Every structure is written in C-alpha cells, then in structure tokens.
Structure 1
Amino acid sequence: MKQLKKIAVECRNIGLSYDGGKTEVLRDINLRVEPGEFFALLGPSGSGKSTLLRLIAGFNQHQRGQLLVDGKDITGVPPYGRNIGMVFQSYALWPHMTIWDNVAFGLVERRMDRATIKQKVGAALDLVGLTQYANRRPNQLSGGQQQRVALARTIVIEPQVLLLDEPLSNLDKKLRVQMREELRSLQRTLGITTIFVTHDQEEAMTTADRMAVMDKGVVQQLGTPAALFDYPSNPFVANFVGTTNLLPGHVDHVGGDVVRFRGNDVGEIRLPRHPDVREGPTAISFRPHTVRMVIGDAVRDPGYVWMDGAVEHCEFLGEFTRYRVRVGKATITADQAHYSGMSPFSERSAVGLGIDATQVRYLPI
C-alpha cells in the first residue's frame, strides 16, 4: 500500500458534559497531534481518554471548542464524513463473513469497482501478513490474527487518521508485546497519523512518539515518554507513568547549597539545592531503580543522601529484586539489579537507602 497523507489533529479548548452540564467529562482539552505522529492517550478507567477518541471519530459531540483535522474544523461532521478509521477494542468483525469480505466491506460500501477492491484488499492483507487466511472466518483465527484483520479493514479505506481504542487489551502478555511492535512498524510503513488509547503505561511508552496523560477529563501532562517519566509535572503523572516513591511534606529551608525537606512520614531529609525549589508544601519523587541499598552498617557512598530503614518485603522479579523498606512511617520501594550468585537482603534486616539527589523531583501538592 502507498504511504498515506500525513495530517495533523488538533483539539482547541474541547469541553464535553452530560446531564445538561452537570457531569463534566472533558475539560479544556488542548493538544495537537503532529502529521504522521504515533500519539498515545494514557490514563486510568474513567479518565476521558476513550471519550476523546470517540469524539475525534465523531461518535461523541463536544459542546465547547474546536476539533481540527488537516487544519479544517470538523465539529458537527458525522462519522461517515470524516475519513477517520477506528479499530475497536472488540475488533467488531462480521462473524458470518470471510476475512476477505470483512476487509472489503468498507470499499464495497463506497461502491468501488471490483478490480480496485481486489487490488486494495490484496495489498492490505499482504501488509498485515494474512493473505493465506483470506477465505477463513474470524472464529478460525487467533486473537492476534483477528486484530490484524481489524487493522486491515480500517487501513484499506485509506483514512486520514487511524484511531486505536485499546486494541491489545484482549491479548495475552507475550502476544501484546509482539503486536505492539507490529503496530509500530505498520504505522511507520504507512506514515499515517495515529492516536492510540491505552491504560497500560508500558504500551504507551514503547509505541508512542508523544503521549498525553489524562485524569478526570483533564490532560495532566503532554510530552515524550522519556520526558514524562523523567520530569513528571505532578504526583498523579509521577505515579501513573512508571513506579515511583512519593513523599509528601514541605520544604522549610532553602539556603546556601542545601534544601531541607521535612517529610510527613520520614522526618528531615537534606538535599542539594535545586534552582526550582521554593519553601512551602511539596512532595519529592524518586524512582525505585535509582535507590541504592546497603547493609545497615556498611560503608556509604557520600555522593548519595542516606536514610535508615528495615526490609519489610522482597519480590524476586528476574532482572531485579523489588524491596519494600520501612523508613519512619513511610514505605520506600527499591529495585536492585539481580546477578547470579547474589544474596538478597533478608526481611527485617536493617539497611541503608541511598538516594541519588540528581534523580529527585519536587512536585506541587
């Protein structure tokens, strides 16, 4: 198949409410998906991500703001007039039709001639690697193969935008990894602007060029996966994009080279001064893999900020062991890389936790 035209999708101050405005589902959504970009909407159930996707497809209508596709406001344009393709979570394949007929359905509805349909369906099936299954029915295929049929049926009509509503959620973990790689490769081959909804942060981070983290109908933060992981703008993003340690408290002193943070549950922690830190309520966040662990009385690297604790629980996860360590009234998670022959820290043992101050983030609360 030929590369499809790369176009932008833009939401300007989009607002959507139900019950006469009593239930606000989307609030002031402002984002721009660049031409040819693979963009993810990430958030928990009820965050508004699928509602926004359906709004772009035309199945929901916003009351406020503008929705622009290729620079044109398509607010009020019905779904069939938008030339936007959508792959549903359930795949929505016709069970009584062959794979060939499922893929051809949209072209038949557009009253294309037989030769064109044959050429386009053949190319779409070849692209997703299902040419040999053309005469089978959906119930004769695996879940991953059915997903490819749904993709082929969508891209065969050459949409301006491809929308994916949690298309991997029905697959087992191993197949999800394989299919997200195939999705990414297919999107790159076609060059089509793609918006992908998921609640799985690993899926979003491994496929998206950029993503928007949503909660309660609001875009909490926009950026590349690495930027959102390394520099979350608030506690929700820090907790949802990856695993983090989040210690609420307040900064009661900023002077010289020192920030004095007093945690609600861990007491005082002295950290090197950071240019963005101000006195007042805040939370500090740091990722488990950046924490260093030593036996309680071991020599400690002065390049780290140290806290004393006791191991409450440990989980061996193959590449690393995850420890839950009690520090004061708080619980700190520390991930330590595993190598064969290593002896894990035993439960109830006294340990020192070293925080790499360069990896600490200060978040508003």
Structure 2
Amino acid sequence: MKKVSVECQNIRLSYGATEVLKDINLRIEPGEFFALLGPSGSGKSTLLRLIAGFNRHNAGRLLVDGRDISAVPAHKRNIGMVFQSYALWPHMTVWDNVAFGLVERRLPSAEIKERVASVLALVGLSDYAKRRPNELSGGQQQRVALARTIVIEPQVLLLDEPLSNLDKNLRVQMRQELLSLQRRLGITTIFVTHDQEEAMTTADRMAVLDQGVVQQVGRPSELYDFPCNRFVANFVGTMNVLEGQVRGQSDRIVAMEVAGVGEIALPLQTNAAINDRLAVSFRPHTVQLEELPERQTKRFIWLPGIVRHSEFLGEFTRYAVQVGQQTLTADQAHFAGITLYEPGAAVSVGLEPTQIRLLPA
C-alpha cells in the first residue's frame, strides 16, 4: 500500500460565532505516526473528524497525497477511523463486525473471507471470530475496532482516544501493540489523545493544540526539552517556573531579578530588553537538592530553600520546596539507604543552567 501524506493548509472552522480551529497548518509525513495532543476543547478531535470528512472547514485546504479532498464526502475518502467507544455492532460476531465494511463495498465473498481472516490473525483474534463484543475484554474489543478499520485498507488511519476506556496496565500494552501494528502496515496514522504519556511513547512527531491553535509541532523530545511557551511546557510534562525581570545582559549572560530570591545569572537564550518579564523554567528531575554546602557542584546555580512536604513514589521522591515566594517541585531518584528530607529542612536547590529555559512570562 502506498504511504501518503496529510496536509492542512490554513484551515479554519467555526460553529456560528465560535471559531474552533484557527489557521491550522500541519503536514503529516507518509507513514508517520502523528499525535494531536491537547486538553478538552482544544480542537484536536474536531480536526480529526474534519480529516475524516465528518465536518467541513470554512476556509483552507485539506490534502491527502497532494490532492485536495475538501469537497470529497467521508465515504469516498478511503480514510479509516477508530472511535473512542469502538462502535461495534453488539448483535454481530467479531467476524461479521470486521467484514461489515467489505460487505458494504460488495466485494467478492472469497476476497472478504481472505481479508477478514488475514486481519484477524494480524491482531491476534483468529480464535475469537465467532464471539460477540460483549464476550470480549476491553482490549479485545479495541482490536476488533482496529481490525474492522484496517481491513478496508485505508490510506490514512485516524484514532480518536482509542485507549481511554482501558485500565492503565492494558493501555500500556495496547499502545505498544498499536505502534507495532502501525509499523508493520506503514499506514499514515493520526492519533488524538489528551494523555501526554501516550503521545510521547508512540508518536514520531506531535502537535500540541490549545483553543483551536497549534502551539508547537515536533518530536516528543523536542517539545519536552525545548517548549516554545508556558502552555506547552506545562502540558508536555511538568515544569517549574520562577518569574523574574531582566536587569541586564552581556556576553551571552542575562541577569534576572527573581522575587524573593534576588539576582541570578543565566545563559542568554533569547533577545531580552531591560525590565522584560520572563519565566525561568526547568523540569523537576533536573533539580538537585543538597544539605551540605561542600557538596554543592559549581556548575549549578544554588538557591536557598525550605522543604514543605514530600511524596515517596518508589523510583523517586517528589519534594515541594519553597524558594523565595514560590514553591518548586524537585524529583530526586531514590536508592536504598538514601536520606530523605523532612518537612522544614533547609536545603540548597541546584539548577543546571543548560536545563533552564527562558519563556515568555
């Protein structure tokens, strides 16, 4: 099967006076596993349904394999979609559910039999062909929904939060199986989720949406390490923020005045004018906590802090540390025998300059 690209060019969609999608520009590469990530109401599912043909944009172009399909009805787009609810026919067997799309297309019975058998084997459900959906587990129902979609050999596969109805352990297993299947088939796949972990562990690239606007597009590691703004920083992972004001800059160093902390010097990452307000941002796992001054590494920026409370999470301990007028999160790897800080303990909070991002406040 030919791998195809999907491209949104200046797409806008409104419901009455409410603009739901605002000037969307995206290109999903042929054979790519692409995630649309965002909170409820961000427009990600609306965009997915628009690509499927279930709603129509007011402006812009939607291209598949370079061809504008904006005016093509949903049933002629050769795009398959797996819904959050699976939408299986309860009175039909697994075999009949999977065969349904082929029967509707009036394919020869011998071809239907061959393709259904092949796809059930592909998703590991050959022995369940005669069962009905209510006789299957959630993970098995998800496989049936997936099989029913890929049996029609779509050019593009759309997944609308297909794992959200599964428990945590099964979600991990199913997303691994889903990615493995996508790699074998090579189908261009667009996956909608509000779960950052699902997006980061499966997607080649992803787009973060908020209020109908694409905030940033890139590989998961790029969005995690180099978020373009505070929304992306906080949605893709957890981010500490110290708000400060620029006091001066020279020789690739910017001096920031942080409330309750004082002036700190940071690597200059962006043009900043005197008195500009910026967010000094860094991930919890990059923070170092030390009690003894002699153990403080010189490459870190050290700030005085007070431990307010802690959570032991097994692999690491998460501390809430007050620094100046703000509370920071510090994740410290746990080892047997390590000393845990008690609430009220005075600590030095170490910030690794290379891990700090200066973002618009």
TM-score bracket, shorter-length normalisation: over 0.9
Partner of 1:267: 261
CA distance in 1, matches of 2:186, 2:73: 25
In structure 2, which of residues 319, 324, 347 is the aligned counterpart of residue 351 of structure 1?
A: 347
Please point out which of 61, 76, 80 is paired with 2:56: 61
Q: TM-score, normalised by structure 2?
A: 0.97
Give 1:333's match in structure 2, choosing from 322, 329, 332.
329
For 1:147, the equivalent position in structure 2 comes to 142
After superposition, the C-alpha distances for 1:163-207 in whole angstroms (9 at most, x for unaligned) are: 000001000110000000001000000000000000000000000
- Deviation for aligned residue 1:297: 4.8
Distance 1:113 1:232 in 2: 52
**Corresponding residue to 1:49 among 44, 56, 64:** 44
Larger CA deviation: 120-129 vs 272-281: 272-281
Residue 289 of structure 1 corresponds to 285
**Alignment TM-score, normalising by the size of structure 1:** 0.96
Of residues 304, 311, 326 in structure 1, which corresponds to 2:307?
311
Question: CA separation in 2, counterparts of 1:161 and 1:73?
Answer: 14
Aligned to 2:130: 135
In structure 1, the residue matched to 2:195 is 200
Residue 266 of structure 1, CA deviation: 3.9
In structure 2, what is the Cα distance between the partners aligned to 1:111 and 1:70?
26
Gap regions ≥5 residues in structure 2: none
Secondary structure in 2 matching 1:104: helix
Aligned residues: 359
Contact persistence 1:289–1:334 (CA under 8 A) = yes
Aligned partner of 2:317 in structure 1 is: 321
CA contact (8 A) 1:93 1:150 kept: yes
1:260, 1:268 within 8 Å by CA — same for their partners in 2? Answer: no
Q: Deviations over 1:74-100 (max 9, x none)?
A: 112111010000000000000000000
Which position in structure 2 is the counterpart of 1:276? Answer: 270
Q: Alignment partner of 1:326: what SS?
A: strand
- Residue segments in structure 1 that go unaligned for 5+ positions in a row: none
Equivalent position amino acid for 1:18 in 2: Y
Give the whole-Å Cα distance in 1 for the aligned partners of 2:89 and 2:67: 33
Alignment of 1:1-365 (within 5 A): 4-19=1-16, 22-256=17-251, 258-263=253-258, 265-279=259-273, 280-295=276-291, 297=293, 299-365=295-361
How far apart are 1:256 and its partner, in Å?
Answer: 3.7
CA displacement 1:280-321 (0-9 Å, x = unmatched) = 221111000000001165542111001111111111111111
What's the offset of the Cα at 1:150?
0.3
Task: Please give the secondary structure, in 2, of the residue aligned with 1:92.
Answer: coil
Answer whether contact 2:238 2:283 (CA < 8 A) is retained: yes
Residues 258 and 270 in structure 1, CA contact (< 8 A), matched pair in contact too: no
**Displacement of 1:249:** 2.5
Q: Is the 8 Å Cα contact of residues 261 and 323 (structure 2) preserved in structure 1? A: no
- Contact 1:11/1:30 (8 A) holds in 2: yes
Per-residue deviation, 1:275: 4.7
Q: Deviations over 1:91-125 (max 9, x none)?
A: 00000000000000000000011100000000110
Query: 1: distance between equivalents of 2:134 and 2:215?
Result: 40
Deviation of 1:262 (Å): 1.9
Partner Cα distance (1:266, 1:211) in 2: 37
The alpha-carbon deviation at position 342 of structure 1 amounts to: 1.3
Deviation per CA, 1:234-264: give whole Å up to 9, x if none: 000000001110222222211246321123x
The alignment partner of 2:14 has SS state of strand
C-alpha contact (below 8 Å) 2:269/2:358 kept by paired residues: no
Q: Helix, strand or coil for the counterpart of 2:140? A: helix
Once the two structures are TM-superposed, the CA of residue 277 in structure 1 deviates from its matched residue by 4.2
Q: C-alpha displacement at 1:276, in angstroms? A: 2.5
Measure how far apart 1:340 and its partner are: 1.1
Question: Would you say the 8 A contact 1:256–1:273 is kept in 2?
Answer: no
Backbone CA RMSD of aligned residues: 1.2
Distance verdict in 2 for CA 1:285–1:53, change over 3 Å: same
Contact 1:277–1:362 (CA<8 Å) still a contact in 2? no
The alpha-carbon deviation at position 278 of structure 1 amounts to: 1.6
Partners of 1:148 and 1:266 in 2: CA distance? 54
What CA deviation, in whole Å up to 9, does each residue of 1:324-350 have, x standing for no partner? 101111010000000111121111111
Q: Which amino acid aligns with 1:49?
A: K
CA distance in 2, matches of 1:314, 1:269: 28
